[in-house]
Amino acid sequence: MLQAFINVFRIAELRTKILFTLAMLAVYRIGHWIPVPGVNQEQLAKFFEQQVSEGSAAGRAAQFVTVFSGGAFGHSTIFGLGVMPYISASIIFQLLGQVVPSLKALQNEGPTGRQKIAEWTRLATIGLCIVQGIGWLKYIDSMGMVYPEYAGNFIWWVMGVAALTAGCMFLMWLGEQIDKYGIGNGVSLIIAAGILTQMPSAIQWIMTNFDPGSSEAGKIGFTGLFFIIAGFVLVIAGSVLMTVAQRRIPIQQAKHTRGRKVFGGQRSYLPLRINHGGVMPVIFASSLMIFPSVIFSMLEQQARVSSQGGWWAQTTAWLAENFQNGAFPYVVFEVILIYFFSYFWITVQFNPEDMSKQLRDHGSFIPGLRPGPRTAEYLESVMERVTFVGAAFLAVIAVLPMVINKSLGIPFNVTQFLGGTGLLIVVSVVLDFIQRVEANLLMRNYAGFLGTDETARGGRTAS
């Protein structure tokens, strides 16, 4: 492992890419602390800390958005929106590309068509930034988090929306620069960096509340510390395993004769990812589950303020209580949504008919199956079965931090590293980064993180 790190910095091009990526992430963290003018940052931070500790709907919404903004949402900085508008716009165009024939034709045109779609995605990002920025500023203004001299000032509104929009567009540009001159997916690295910056506060909470001889609520002893560390290691290992897990379909290439020579006949495999949807089903399910919790909490508060009794007050109180983060109905509905979006995502992204046609056009087939509709039917059935397993894994990972938070009383900023959307994002981004570095090392006949020194020496001798 140490030799692999040394090899990384021996290659000038790879060293430059990694240092450039780290420099861009440092710029992102600097901008994380530049506040939006006119907002009482101290009062806003205390408000959201209270909302999160009470488990309110606003606190849950802030926790979800924080995953994509690196904590800047609760501080109302210029990067408060994070890259969430850009991700939303990209997902919208990706889904529209499967149902709108003109967009699908653009995608099939190659680099020119993809560049045109990228331009439209940027324009849509600006529109989403304006809408989300106005909504966010209106919310904190209604909660009294804006200084009196700025509240209701049209110039402040323009300045605040412009600052949030410019911050999101700058992060999008930063990610594109990492894609072009650095290494790894720029937007994904920015999201992962924002999530990992919350780990020191989680470690600090564990150190502060570690008391071997105390049985008070909120304190952890040796047993609790052991389970937290063991759970973290096991969840990380399971996430890595399920992220790279594949169902390999054997493929046989047909033989053909040219003159006296016979070509083809090789055997290979078609890899189908078990977790084909990645983290997207969890993101969709978590974002949708925010709405019923927020709506039911508002209805309960309205019924309490109006002193309206009877069945309506009881119903709203029951719904607000059972659709809190970690409640049984909340967990059940989120699991159902995860399964739904897992199958919806493969329906949009995975086309067995096109895949069977490509196999037939390249002279390949699955042994025992006729090319064409029979192959497409087999691929669809296999994908449905492996998606069920992948969705079950996503459901466990998504539910685990909520269960630990509810049952053991451990804060969510600690339990989020035992599962959830943030952990899946970090694992997938780190795996992608390591694989890219590994490819650069092996391309230059150096031992990678998974190689050995003997392999590297053999490769350099052979070259």
Distances (CA, A) of 302 to 48, 149, 276, 305, 313: 21, 30, 42, 5, 9
What average pLDDT does range 27-39 have in this prediction? 85
Q: Which of 135, 137, 142, 129 lies closest to 160 in space, CA to CA? A: 137
Q: Is the separation of the CB atoms in 356 and 376 below 8 Å?
A: yes
Q: How far apart are CA 164 and CA 78, in angstroms?
A: 5
Residue 296 has pLDDT above 50, yes or no: yes
What average pLDDT does range 12-37 have in this prediction? 88
The number of C-alpha atoms within 13 Å of 100 and in the hemisphere containing its C-beta is: 11
Q: What pLDDT is attached to residue 372?
A: 84
Q: What pLDDT is attached to residue 124?
A: 92
Q: Which of 83, 66, 86, 73 lies closest to 35 in space, CA to CA? A: 73
pLDDT, tens digit, 9 for 90 and up, residues 370-412: 888 888 899 999 999 999 988 998 888 888 887 777 777 777 7
Q: How far apart are CA 22 and CA 24, in angstroms?
A: 5
Helix (H, G, I), strand (E, B) or coil at 421: helix
DSSP, residue by residue, 184-230: S-HHHHHHHHHHHTTHHHHHHHHHHHB-TT---TT-B-HHHHHHHHH
Q: What pLDDT is attached to residue 139?
A: 80
Residue 393 tokens, joined: 């894994």
Between CA 166 and CA 177, with CA 172 as vertex, the angle to 5 degrees is 120
Q: Which of 201, 187, 191 lies closest to 417 in space, CA to CA? A: 201
Helix 57-69 and helix 41-54, axial crossing angle in degrees, nearest 10: 120
Residue 16 tokens, joined: 């430059």
Indicate the Cα dihedral angle 289, 290, 291, 294, nearest 10°.
130
Distances (CA, A) of 119 to 90, 340, 462: 11, 31, 46
Distances (CA, A) of 59 to 52, 314, 325, 414: 4, 23, 10, 15
- DSSP assigned state of 261: E
More confident residue, 128 or 459: 128
pLDDT, tens digit, 9 for 90 and up, residues 218-269: 677 777 778 778 878 888 888 888 888 888 888 888 776 666 776 666 788 8
Q: What pLDDT is attached to residue 461?
A: 36
Alpha helices in 265-372 (DSSP H): 280-305, 311-322, 328-349, 352-361
Q: What pLDDT is attached to residue 169?
A: 92
What average pLDDT does range 194-201 have in this prediction? 81
More confident residue, 38 or 215: 38
pLDDT, tens digit, 9 for 90 and up, residues 357-373: 888 887 788 888 888 88
Q: What pLDDT is attached to residue 162?
A: 93
Amino acid making up residue 153: N
Q: Is the separation of the CB atoms in 32 and 71 below 8 Å?
A: yes
Distances (CA, A) of 7 to 97, 182, 281, 349, 454: 42, 17, 38, 38, 14
pLDDT, tens digit, 9 for 90 and up, residues 417-451: 776 777 888 888 888 888 888 888 877 766 666 65
- Provide the residue ranges of all domains of the chain, joining segments of one domain with +: 234-419
Look over the chain and give the mean of its residue pLDDT values, rounded to a whole number: 80
Q: What is the pTM of this model?
A: 0.78
- The count of other CB atoms within 10 Å of the CB of residue 213 is 7
CATH number of the 234-419 domain: 1.10.3370.10
Amino acid making up residue 102: S
